Amino acid sequence: MAPTEIREISRSKASGGYVVKFEHDSPLSRCSMKFSVFVPPGYEKKNSKKYPILYWLSGLTCNEDNFMQKAGGKDKLAELGIVLVCPDTSPRGLGIEGEDDSWDLGTGAGFYVDATVEKWNGYNMYSYITQELWEVVNSNFNVDPSRAGIFGHSMGGHGAIVSGLRNPDKYKSVSAFAPIANPIDCPWGKKSLGAYLGTDNQEAWKVYDSTEVMKAYNGPSRTILVDQGTADNFLKEQLQTEKVAKVGNARVKVELRMQDGYDHSYFFISTFINDHLGFHAEKLKA
């Protein structure tokens, strides 16, 4: 099968490498999808060297640009020789009634699930990340898919943990910043899961819940690094981050670091991003 064509939109030099934005036609999403890539210094498509790769999943309202513009970490990525991919957070422009009515549902809020409610046809961000984008990246970039990791923030932290643990053959390392830890039991999660999956069978929600996925996990042993700010105004009602540290599955160790005084912003992420990159590099032997 021929590689999916990707079209370059922009390119900016950064930390000796490049941040490049692409788009491609996505059958799963029923639209064109954009993603940004950081390639480290010395990266050449024509060379045979294969680089380890990290996927970053952003949070509500974000797109493929937020991490690249705000999170820092590119000096560390350059030092480690890691390729980083940042996808968008939802399909865009599908013309679905209500998709632009609220910031926490629809556009910019795909929640990394595959919608089963017909109205949301095209909202397949779980399969987009773990299958379609995976193939697009592997066929168009010099990356080593046996050395791939995934991490994210908030909605993206939830997406990273769920995707990483449900696909341990693909993602060898997982970490998260302030993840939505138990979406079946918080307002953001109930709204999104109810809309995309329906409310008739809430048992089906569990495969997209980090806490529930951890409970059921029986794959290779994993250690997940989780950072959470103590001044995060979403911590108590929405994130409930401590729940992932209390699961008690011997196959999943959660290293939860409560960071005093930090909130939910990219100031928080940029402060600890290098720790996460080093964590992944060790797991991927970058």
- Residue 2 has a pLDDT of 64
Q: Specify whether 232 is catalytic.
A: yes
Which of 153, 264, 276, 280 is labelled catalytic?
A: 264
DSSP readout, 253-284?
EEEEEEETT--SSHHHHHHHHHHHHHHHHHHH
Phi/psi of residue 206, each to 5°? -65, -25
Q: How many CA atoms lie within 13 A of 120 on its CB side?
A: 27
Active site residue 210: no
| 76 vs 40: CA distance, rounded Å | 10
| Active-site residue identified among 154, 175, 192, 210 | 154
Provide the pLDDT for residue 1. 56
Question: Could you read off the pLDDT of 23-80 as tens digits, one per residue?
Answer: 999 999 999 999 999 999 999 877 789 999 999 999 999 999 999 999 999 999 999 9
Residue 218 has pLDDT above 60, yes or no: yes
What structural domains and CATH numbers belong to the chain? Answer: 7-284 (3.40.50.1820)
**Cα→Cα distances 133→16, 46, 85, 241, Å:** 25, 21, 10, 28
What's the token pair of residue 55? 């996927």
* β-pair partners for 21: 10, 36
Q: Which of 114, 232, 276, 280 is an active site residue?
A: 232
pLDDT in tens, 231-277: 999 999 999 999 999 998 999 999 999 999 999 999 999 999 999 99
Average pLDDT over residues 217-228: 97
Are 158 and 181 a contacting pair, CB within 8 Å? yes
Nearest to 114 by CA among 162, 66, 54: 162
- Name the residue with tokens 């909605």: 155
pLDDT for position 217: 98
CA 150 to chain centre: 6
Q: What is the pLDDT of residue 45?
A: 77
pLDDT at 121 > cutoff 60: yes
158 labelled catalytic: no
Laid out side by side, the sheet with 51-57 consists of 7-14, 17-26, 31-39, 83-87, 51-57, 143-153, 173-177, 222-229, 252-259
Q: Which helix (H) or strand (E) holds 188?
A: helix 187-197
- Give pLDDT, residue 26: 97
Q: What predicted TM-score, i.e. pTM, was given to this entire model?
A: 0.97
